[in-house]
Amino acid sequence: MKNILLTGGAGFIGSHTVEEILTQTDMTVTIIDRLSYAGNLHRLTDIECWEKEKSRVRFVYHDFRSEFPFFVKRLIGEIDYIIHMGAETHVYNSFTQPRLFAQSNVNGTINMLELAKEIGCEKFIYVGTDEVYGPVIGDQLHKEGEPHRPSNPYAASKSGAEAFVHAYWKSFNVPVVFTNTMNNFAERQDREKFIPKTIYNIYNENPIDIHCEMNEKGNITDISSRCWIHARNHANALVYLLENGTTGERYNVVGERKNVEEIADMIGKTMNKKPDKNFIPFHSYSPGHDMHYGLDGTKMKELGWKPKLDLHDSLEKTVKWILDHKEWL
C-alpha cells in the first residue's frame, strides 16, 4: 500500500485531495499542516467517507517554513509520494505581507525538497498556479514552460518556488513533476475567495465587486476573467499524475474560462436572487492583479486525463452545499 505525504491537507484543496485519495485509491495519506487561518481539521471530519476511511489518514503537525527536526521525520516515516500544495495563496494578503509569502512558498518548498532528497520518494508533485505566467490577452492561453512574468508578490513567490523545484531535479535528481492550475472552488472553501464570498454577499443582499475596465465615458469595455475548476477535478488530476506523470515535466490542470460577472450570475440563478453588482475599475483597485488568466490544457488531455465534473453542475452543487452548511460562510 502506497503512502502519500500531503502538505496543506487541512486546507481547502488539500481536504478535497484527501477525499479523492480515500474514495478513489487504496493509498494512505500523511498530512503535514501548521493549521494557520486557512487550515481547519473540520474540513477532514466533514468528508463523507471520513468515519469509514479515517484509519488511512495520519496527521503530523509541522510548520514546513522550518526545517524538519529528527522526531518529525520519524513521525512521517516511509513515503512513496509527496504532493506539495501547502502555501500562502491570498493575493491581496501578499501585498501587505510579501515576506510571509516568500517564507512559506519559497523557503517552505526548499524544506520540502530537502526532505524529499533525504528520505527519497518515487515522485514529488509541486502544485503551482497559473499566475506565475502573468496575464493573457484575448483568447491567449499559456502553455507549459512559457516564461514567468509574475505581477504580484504571491505569484512571484510561487515562481521562485518553481525555480527551486527545477533546480533540485537538475542538481539532486529529486523526481519532480510540476503542475499549474487556476481558480479552484468547491465545498468547504474560505470566504476570502470569490465564489464563497459571492454566495455570502448575495445571501446577505450585499453588493458584489466586479473588476472591469472602463473607457473615459465610464462604459465597461472588459470584465476580469479566470479559469475555474472544481477542487475534486484538480485532486483527481494530481492522483492521475502520480501514476502517469513524467519526471521533470510540467502539466496544466485546466477548468473552464468565465468572467467574474458570469460566475456571479450563475450563482445568483442557483440562489434565485439577482446579484447586486458593483463594477470597479480593475487597475485602480488592484494594480498588481491581472485582468485575465488562462492555461492551455492540451497536454493533460493528450496524456489521457479529462475532468469528471463540468463547471455548471459542480458550481450549482457547491452553492447548494454551502447554503445547507452556512457555518462555512
Give yes or no: 285 in active site. Answer: no
Give yes or no: 265 in active site. Answer: no
Strands 225-230 and 183-185: parallel
CA distance 119 to 108: 17
CA distance 259 to 141: 15
Give yes or no: 122 in active site. Answer: no
Angle between helices 153-172 and 108-119 in degrees, nearest 10:
20
CA distance 184 to 166: 24
Angle between helices 260-271 and 311-324 in degrees, nearest 10:
50
Q: Which of 114, 97, 116 is nearest to 156 (CA)?
A: 97
Q: Which of 154, 240, 251, 293 is catalytic?
A: 154
Q: Which of 20, 33, 88, 131 is catalytic?
A: 131
Q: Cα–Cα distances in Å, from 146 out to 123, 159, 259? A: 23, 12, 23
SS3 161: helix
Looking at the annotation, which residues are catalytic? 130-131, 154
